[in-house]
């Protein structure tokens, strides 16, 4: 089950709100393992071509790792925090469906101290799994999750 939160009041730990800055400061190409590289490929279609320089290739051409999407950075930040057992929360609100699906897969059955904060309801393209929002089991698939988030966040359809 994926546990997620829609309000900072439910989270007692520090929250990473600037995923770009966190990634640029703490994550380097040489530290991204095979799973992290698979997430990078899945979200952005990017592959690391030089670990030391941090160069990557994308469907749009070659660039540096710092130019990947915010969603890919957020997913890799989450992966990094889960594996370092760092008790923090990550705001995933800037992520699109492709990154959210990876993030939800990382959080499915995760029982550690990293939490996720989501303040939008655009999740209908994410995979089906059980979701708990703000401590309550709410949804069993992505469409139900989207509807529940709209209700929680006061979003009109």
- Which two three-digit tokens encode residue 19? 């995923």
- Which two three-digit tokens encode residue 88? 């923090």
| pLDDT tens per residue across all 157 residues of the chain | 999 999 999 898 899 999 999 999 999 999 999 999 999 999 999 999 999 999 999 999 999 999 999 999 999 999 999 999 889 999 999 999 999 999 999 999 898 999 999 999 888 888 889 999 998 878 989 889 999 999 999 887 6
Pairing type for strands 15-16 and 2-4 reads unpaired
Residue-level pLDDT at 85: 85
Instruction: Please say whether the beta carbons of 126 and 108 come within 8 A.
Output: no
- 63 by DSSP, 3-state: which? strand
Q: Return the bridge partners of 2, or none.
A: 131
Helix axes 97-107, 70-84, angle to 10 degrees: 10
Pick the closest to residue 19 from 96, 134, 109 (CA basis). Answer: 96
User: Measuring CA to CA, how many Å separate 145 from each of 66, 94, 127, 130, 153?
Assistant: 31, 17, 10, 9, 12
φ and ψ of 100, to 5 deg:
-60, -40
């Amino acid at each position: 089950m994926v546990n997620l939160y829609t309000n900072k009041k439910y989270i007692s730990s520090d929250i990473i709100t600037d995923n770009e800055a966190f990634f640029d400061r703490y994550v380097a190409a040489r530290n991204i393992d095979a799973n992290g590289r698979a997430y990078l490929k899945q979200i952005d279609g990017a592959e690391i071509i030089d670990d030391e320089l941090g160069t990557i290739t994308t469907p749009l051409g070659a660039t540096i790792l710092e130019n990947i999407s915010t969603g890919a950075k957020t997913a890799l930040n989450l992966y990094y925090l889960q594996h370092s057992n760092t008790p923090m929360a990550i705001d995933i609100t800037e992520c699109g469906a492709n990154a959210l699906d990876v993030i939800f897969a990382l959080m499915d059955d995760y029982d550690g101290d990293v939490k996720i904060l989501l303040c939008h309801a655009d999740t209908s393209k994410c995979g089906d799994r059980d979701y708990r929002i703000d401590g309550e089991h709410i949804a069993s698939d992505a469409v139900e999750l989207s509807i529940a988030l709209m209700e929680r966040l006061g979003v009109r359809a």
